[in-house]
Homo-oligomer: A and B are copies of this chain.
Amino acid sequence: MNKINNSIKACYINCTLKKSPNPSHTEGLMHLSMDIMDRLGVYYDYFRFVDYNVPPGVQKDMTDHGYRSDGFIKIKKSILDADILIIGTPIWLGEKSSECVKLIERLYGLSGMTNEKGQYLYYGKVGGCIITGNEDGAKHVAMSTLYALQHIGYTIPPQADAAWLGEVGPGPSYLDEESGAKDNSFTNRNITFMTYNLLHLASMLKGNNGLPNLGNNAEAWTEGERWEFKKNRN
């Protein structure tokens, strides 16, 4: 149980606003985590979300709602296959990118579905996030991103976010040599702890076949099951 289960799969999604092949600072930081996965022999997919022309919306398939194609279909498959989801995003004006919000809306569009145990679809999976910005906003972005993930069913391990930020005000970005960002020991430690914690918790959940469905079976609740819950009598 103390070992990392390397049948685990991860899915990394980079929500930069810049299409390929423009360099992405966020991708630069995400590589540190993917490299650890490589060395541990853990399989992962990587997507740059903006390259996939994903329509906005909260429906399962947006081609039913006026869009000619829906690039989320392919990404969705990887997300649902994976045990770990890691969302990367830049910060603009102190917030996660609009591509990141769109990704969360699309994830949310599937969140009413249930697994074979009657639990919401993302139960048993774990989530984290990686953030880059010039100067401010990493915790704000992380709190909102991790909240969304736990809300739809992901488990969040300790210290599940890692970020790089420079001093307040305009300045070099993560990949710019003059930022010295690659030597930031705090960022490097956090991305290491995040990656291992995601793997430990995913291994633990996989070894237990996810969370038991006592007390969290959405289908059973709908049918009237209440387990040890009783309404407030006061």
Contact = CB atoms under 8 A, between A and B. Distances in A.
Contact of A169 (B101, B184, B195, B226): B184
A153 to B, nearest CB: 5
B211 A158 contact: yes
B200 A120 contact: no
Given A196-B214, A214-B196, A160 B165 contact: no
Contact of A32 (B4, B167, B232): B232
A50 interface: yes
A130 to B, nearest CB: 13
Interface string A192-234: 1101110111001100100110111000010000111111101
Given A93-B108, A108-B93, A159-B150, A168 B138 contact: yes
Copies in the complex: 4
Interface string A61-104: 00001100000000000000000000000001111111101101
A165 to B, nearest CB: 4
Of the four ranges (under 10, 10 to 19, 20 to 34, 35 or more), the interface on chain A belongs to 35 or more
A155 B99 CA distance: 27
Interface of A: 1-4, 17-19, 28-29, 31-32, 35-36, 39-40, 50, 56-58, 65-66, 92-99, 101-102, 104-105, 108, 120, 122-123, 135-140, 142-144, 146-148, 150-161, 163-170, 175, 182-189, 191-193, 195-197, 199-201, 204-205, 208, 211-212, 214-216, 221, 226-232, 234
11 contacts: A2-B208, A2-B214, A94-B143, A140-B140, A143-B143, A146-B147, A151-B161, A191-B229, A192-B215, A192-B227, A196-B214
